[in-house]
Amino acid sequence: MISEKMQKALNDQLKEEYFSSYLYLSMAAYFESNNLNGFAHWMKTQSEEEKGHAMKFYGYINEQQARVSLNAIDKPQMDWVSSLAAFEETLKHEQKITKHINTLMDLAIAEKDHATTIFLQWFITEQVEEEAHAAHIAEQLKMIGDSKQGLMMLNSILGQRK
């Protein structure tokens, strides 16, 4: 069983994970509107992954005989000035999520909630990967600069994401 404070914090993170999914779906729509279907595919795949993360929180809260609370999700941004700006926003967002996960871990440690500590370890590892991927793509976009050929090559590569 988890504390009320932990239950609230986990439900808050559940909302953050769903917002992440919604944000990446908004980015996919942005890329599709700019005929960058490979970028859109990458973002749709990311959106689905974030939904999976949300469901991990949903399942864990239920396993702990706590109550899942589905809170309102804010409307995500819809437009970016460039592909680079979208991926810089992705990195910034993932860094924010990392801070949230770390705060959850700090709470679990403070409460000596060993089960939640173990549960959150997967997310800590996952966030390292999430930030690295976003940073890598942003750096590639910086190298590409204004090259339409480079953008189309990266678009093709991102379209192959499984």
Q: How far from chain centre, in Å, is Cα 17?
A: 6
What span, in angstroms and rounded, lies between the C-alpha atoms of 53 and 56? 5
| Topology classification of domain 4-158 | Ferritin (1.20.1260)
pLDDT tens digits for range 30-82? 999 999 999 999 999 999 999 999 999 999 999 999 999 999 999 999 999 99
Show the tokens assigned to 41: 């595919």
Show the tokens assigned to 14: 């559940």
pLDDT of residue 161: 94
* pLDDT surpassing 90 at residue 138: yes
pLDDT of residue 111: 98
The 3-class secondary structure across the chain, one letter per residue, is: CCCHHHHHHHHHHHHHHHHHHHHHHHHHHHHHHCCCHHHHHHHHHHHHHHHHHHHHHHHHHHHCCCCCCCCCCCCCCCCCCCHHHHHHHHHHHHHHHHHHHHHHHHHHHHCCCHHHHHHHHHHHHHHHHHHHHHHHHHHHHHHHCCCHHHHHHHHHHHCCCC
Q: How far from chain centre, in Å, is Cα 159?
A: 18
* pLDDT surpassing 90 at residue 155: yes
Rg (CA), the chain: 17
pLDDT of residue 1: 87
Q: How far from chain centre, in Å, is Cα 156?
A: 22
| Sign of torsion over alpha carbons 133, 31, 80, 139 | positive
Q: Mean pLDDT across the chain, nearest whole number?
A: 98
Going from N- to C-terminal start, the domains of the chain cover 4-158
